[in-house]
Chains A and B, each alone.
Chain A
């Protein structure tokens, strides 16, 4: 694992993700690489923490939904896509790679 500081890891080492769009809102589905990581993600990857991670990159709030059956969390990032769809001027107008942007987050390492 990529140890960033002594006791943190990149989310990339604990989860995989896929993202998509609904208008100006992007969703990022975050899935634990092992079921044992899921409670750790629930505890550490909160909506507030994700909002902090994307500060300056999105204009709206962040919502989180839990899917314990899939060991997954679903985040809605509002105002992430410069209007979204055809209006957006961004390369990633549909938020397709915001998934990997989330995986850059550093969180406490699981024990």
Chain B
């Protein structure tokens, strides 16, 4: 158990679904930690999971989570490390059952309590909510949800830290949730350990800033860091971040010894401004944090101290993330070689567009990029660069439509260019592009009091 006065150590184990499989194991074995925080859910993940669940009622959660837990469960029990994870997706109960089954297989029966947080899934309640006047207007466009109601695939409210705190209070060793904010996964252990009140706004804001700092895993410890990137040591062995939190709301970000990467004021600042809106008003279900109050100091090698963080009362709304079927898209690519690679690719694009036009295919959008010339910086790059000597350019043409037909036909117009378009072309071994279904995102707000988080316990 944690000795009184010692900081609580919360380690980031996954920054997104698809993050480094080794990270959780390294965080648990690399040194002492109290909590492992694992963030799995991006905005569109829920719709993918909802689709999986509609085919198989026992699925709908982040499948990778179970083998990851299997690998570390005995260590978690031995070292009394607890886990907070939003791996439950749209089926946290099934996820908990799968982890419980794995634990029993490992002989951990009687040694583990799993907390399950639900209540975020609004899909089954959607028509009732709309009927009662919750119109779930799109936060960006202002349009009412009614317009796309029949195409909605997922609807989840973002829950905050509170239900995780309740699960921890009831003795959960592993808390598995559905759509909980990334920051709530880190804040909850602090609230639980220090007994912060629901209106300790400055402390809740501090925990929220801590959560924001580590929610993208190594992106605050040297990964994807642009400042001095060439001298960041040993990224192959990068250490994921650890929050060392104190009861007064102060905390430090560090990492295990003998790991690569770097924790510096500059690198941490890059993560603080990542996906930032108005920095004075970072809204979560738990509080409103003011990022302009954060004071950072380098407190040692690979150690940054946070102080001064101020917060304000939480709002009476929760954000809702809805996903709906939008249409289809496809991307076709071909690679043109020197000499005149760029001009050949431009010519091929003109030929392709003419043929699409002659076929009377219409799209919501056709988008052309010349990878190697303008794909990332557009005209800012083409104004500054000379193109005559480029060794190669990839032509990348993408189309989008509400209808499958034109997109399907487009996918058949790429390959012919190999023999009937401009010369010195290659890079088509992948075959014909495949039309993809587009699941689009619809952000909205809902009154907090209509969402009821629920905590259940599963004893292994």
- Chain A contacts to B: CB under 8 angstroms: 16-25, 27, 29, 31, 33, 53-54, 56-57, 65-72, 74, 76, 82-87, 89-92, 97, 99-101, 104
Contacts and interface: CB of A to CB of B under 8 A. Distances in A.
Contact of B43 (A70, A85, A101): A85
B371 A91 contact: yes
Contacts of A99: 226
B270 A27 contact: no
Residue in B271, B274, B439 with the greatest tally of chain A CB atoms within 10 Å? B274
Interface stretch (B21-29, B128-136, B253-261, B292-300): B292-300
B294 to A, nearest CB: 6
B369 A16 contact: no
Interface stretch (B60-68, B87-95, B377-385): B377-385
A25 B278 CA distance: 13
B365 to A, nearest CB: 6
Nearest to B268: A70
Given A29-B270, A89-B329, A65 B376 contact: no
B226 A17 contact: yes
Contacts, number: 129
A58 to B, nearest CB: 10
B273 A57 contact: no
Given A31-B266, A89-B329, A100-B226, A69 B274 contact: no
B377 A104 contact: yes
A70 B291 CA distance: 9
B367 interface: yes
A27 B276 contact: yes
B434 to A, nearest CB: 15
7 contacts: A22-B275, A27-B274, A65-B280, A87-B438, A91-B376, A92-B375, A97-B376
A16 B230 CA distance: 14
B391 to A, nearest CB: 19
Given A91-B376, A99-B226, A65 B278 contact: yes
Residue among A23, A89, A104 with the most chain B CB within 10 A?
Answer: A89
A49 B421 CA distance: 41
A74 B295 contact: no
A54 B377 CA distance: 9
Contacts of B376: 91-92, 97, 100-101
Contacts of A97: 376-377
Contact of B367 (A29, A71, A82): A82
A91 B276 contact: no
Most chain B CB neighbours (cut-off 10 Å) among A17, A71, A72, A86: A86
B92 to A, nearest CB: 24
Contacts of B269: 29, 31, 70-72
Given A17-B226, A67-B292, A27 B273 contact: yes
B441 interface: yes
Given A57-B378, A91-B376, A92-B376, A69 B441 contact: no
A104 B224 CA distance: 19
* From B266, B278, B377, residue with most partner A Cβ within 10 Å: B377
A98 B381 CA distance: 12
Given A27-B277, A31-B269, A74-B276, 12 more contacts: A25-B140, A29-B269, A31-B227, A53-B380, A67-B279, A69-B295, A70-B269, A72-B273, A89-B398, A90-B398, A100-B376, A101-B378
A18 B274 contact: yes
A97 B226 CA distance: 11
A89 B331 contact: yes
A74 B365 contact: no
Contacts of B140: 23-25
A101 B118 CA distance: 42
B137 interface: no
A100 B227 CA distance: 12
Contact of A104 (B278, B329, B380): B380
Contacts of A67: 273, 279, 291-292
A51 to B, nearest CB: 13
A69 B272 CA distance: 12
